[in-house]
Amino acid sequence: MLKEFVDVLVIGAGPSGCVSASHLHNNNIKVKVVEKTKFPRIVVGESLIPRVMDHFAEAGLFESLDAMNFEKKLGARFIRGKEICVFDFSDKYGEGWDWTWQVPRADFDNTMAQEVISKGIDLEFESEVISVTFEGKNSITVVKDKNGIEKEIHAKFIIDSSGYGRVLPRLLDLDTPSKLDPHSAIFTHVVDINRPEGEEGTLISFDILETEVWLWVIPFSNGNTSLGVVGPTHFINSLSRDNNKIEALNNAVNMSDYYIKRFGGIEFAFEPVKLENYSRSVKSMYGDGFALTGNSSEFLDPVFSSGVAFATESGMLAAKLFIKESQGITVNWETEFTGYMRRGIGVFTTYVKEWYTGNLQTLFFHQPENPDVKRKICAVLAGYVWDETNPFVKKHDNLIKNMAYIINSEKELAEKNLS
């Protein structure tokens, strides 16, 4: 059997894998990337948040992505009936990027992968991981290419960025149930023939159909728009008979007073994709000789577009910690990797939970707006969830529910006094 020898094997060529591989290569680490699929390919996660821009810039991928002229995302709009809340990333607490992109992931990921290849990194498409064995921290990974030919890849470290493929969690029995309630999504793209002129036609929006059910609208610069519905799995399943995804998504669009004219009856560019019970977690984010990054470790929920940000954050961090170890510096992976990532994941987990309880929606739509509160929440939505000078990061466990309780109590008292 053919054998290859590298310092780091990266499994998966999505954003996490490309950021990891590029940063390793930039620091003279011999890296190989294996990707099971053929690019370009359809994948969810089309709305980014500003924190990812730090990673693309540091990994040397920003210029190639910027040249693609993807739609700029300057903030996000949340709609609930006639109520509208808009967050502007340029008006947030603290430092950081004030814009990012809305992207068709097929083009976006392929651009990154091709840039990685142009750097001289060995990236092999249509190569599936069959098995992994460890000898201490060293590993032997057997991969099979599209022609059925197998070979061994000997590596000092593995970064698993395989996303929903979850290669090492499956092979090493690391999967564990998510702490979030089961939710599902159905999405597709449309040729946006009814797109309005100006900002309205480019603005990413989240239209709340019920407290736990929402529609996403993500316009792209190519004239297409991503359209999806998210909600509890039982609700998503109730949208159609016989799991008909076209019927389900059409029924969801028909529930939207805001978007029914724009998207009602519109033809879908491809059969809608269903992601069922998408939240994921793992028993451990690392082990001797490997680290899990992106969706291969944790995936929360698409509501605040945190998926790619956590993917690139963990991918960059895993690469940096391996480089540190390769220089003979001791790394405490529990503290420096898991502890760090869990802090950010914990903040977003609170926001996802409080979104579905309705508490966060209470803060979003409360009038009159509190500009200071809004700026601090905006920083979280931008992905700066490790900045503990922000009380909406540091006190995330209680602050949202406590503020929502006060707002609702005051509203009830005012209504009682009026009656």
| Whether residue 97 has pLDDT greater than 80 | yes
Q: In this predicted structure, what is the pLDDT of residue 373?
A: 96
**Inter-CA distances, 198 with 152, 157, 359, Å:** 53, 48, 32
Q: In this predicted structure, what is the pLDDT of residue 6?
A: 98
Helices (H) and strands (E) in the chain, counts: 16, 19
Q: What is the DSSP string of 132-180?
A: EEEETTEEEEEEE-TTS-EEEEEEEEEEE--GGG-HHHHHTT-EE--SS
Q: In this predicted structure, what is the pLDDT of residue 247?
A: 97
Q: In this predicted structure, what is the pLDDT of residue 176?
A: 85
Q: In this predicted structure, what is the pLDDT of residue 74?
A: 97
Cα gap 28→30, rounded to integer Å: 6
Q: What percent of the chain has pLDDT over 90?
A: 88
Task: Give the mean model confidence (pLDDT) for residues 363-369.
Answer: 95
Residues 270, 276, 279, CA angle at the centre, nearest 5°?
120
Cα gap 199→121, rounded to integer Å: 39
Which structure tokens are listed for 11?
A: 């499994």
230 by DSSP, 3-state: which? strand
Q: In this predicted structure, what is the pLDDT of residue 163?
A: 87
**Inter-CA distances, 419 with 366, 412, 414, 415, 416, Å:** 21, 11, 9, 6, 5
| Whether residue 325 has pLDDT greater than 70 | yes
Tell whether the torsion through CA atoms of 332, 284, 123 and 154 is positive or negative.
Answer: positive
| Whether residue 297 has pLDDT greater than 90 | no
For residue 234, count CB atoms less than 10 angstroms from its CB and return exposed for 0-12, middle for 13-18, buried for 19 or more: exposed
| Whether residue 278 has pLDDT greater than 90 | no
Task: Give the mean model confidence (pLDDT) for residues 107-128.
Answer: 98
Which structure tokens are listed for 192?
A: 């946006």
Task: Give the mean model confidence (pLDDT) for residues 103-108.
Answer: 97
Q: In this predicted structure, what is the pLDDT of residue 299?
A: 76
Which structure tokens are listed for 134?
A: 């460890």
| Whether residue 293 has pLDDT greater than 80 | yes
Q: In this predicted structure, what is the pLDDT of residue 410?
A: 87
212 by DSSP, 3-state: which? coil
Rg (CA), the chain: 22
Cα gap 95→98, rounded to integer Å: 9
| Whether residue 300 has pLDDT greater than 90 | no
What digits encode the pLDDT tens for the residues 16-52?
999 999 999 999 999 999 999 999 999 989 999 999 9
Q: In this predicted structure, what is the pLDDT of residue 190?
A: 98
Cα gap 263→410, rounded to integer Å: 38
Single-letter residue type at 103: V
The b/e string for 347-356 (b: 16+ C-beta within 10 A; e otherwise) is bbbbbbbbbb
Cα gap 354→212, rounded to integer Å: 10
90 by DSSP, 3-state: which? coil
Number of Cβ atoms within 10 Å of the Cβ of 278: 22
Residue 41 neighbours by CB under 8 Å, 6+ apart: 106, 109
Mean pLDDT, the chain, whole residue set: 95
Task: Give the mean model confidence (pLDDT) for residues 281-305.
Answer: 87
Strand 31-34 versus strand 2-11 pairing type: parallel
What 8-state DSSP symbol labels residue 2? E
| Whether residue 294 has pLDDT greater than 90 | no
Q: In this predicted structure, what is the pLDDT of residue 217?
A: 98
| Whether residue 416 has pLDDT greater than 80 | no
| Whether residue 417 has pLDDT greater than 90 | no
What digits encode the pLDDT tens for the residues 394-413?
999 999 999 999 999 988 88
What digits encode the pLDDT tens for the residues 216-272?
999 999 999 999 999 999 999 999 988 999 999 999 999 999 999 999 999 999 999
Residue 416 neighbours by CB under 8 Å, 6+ apart: none
The answer to whether residues 291 and 321 touch, using CB atoms and an 8 Å cutoff, is yes
Cα gap 131→114, rounded to integer Å: 27
395 by DSSP, 3-state: which? coil
Q: What is the pTM of this model?
A: 0.95
The answer to whether residues 11 and 31 touch, using CB atoms and an 8 Å cutoff, is no
What digits encode the pLDDT tens for the residues 155-214?
999 999 998 889 999 999 998 888 778 899 999 999 999 999 999 999 999 999 999 999
Q: In this predicted structure, what is the pLDDT of residue 419?
A: 63
> Which helix (H) or strand (E) element contains residue 375?
helix 371-381
Q: In this predicted structure, what is the pLDDT of residue 301?
A: 82
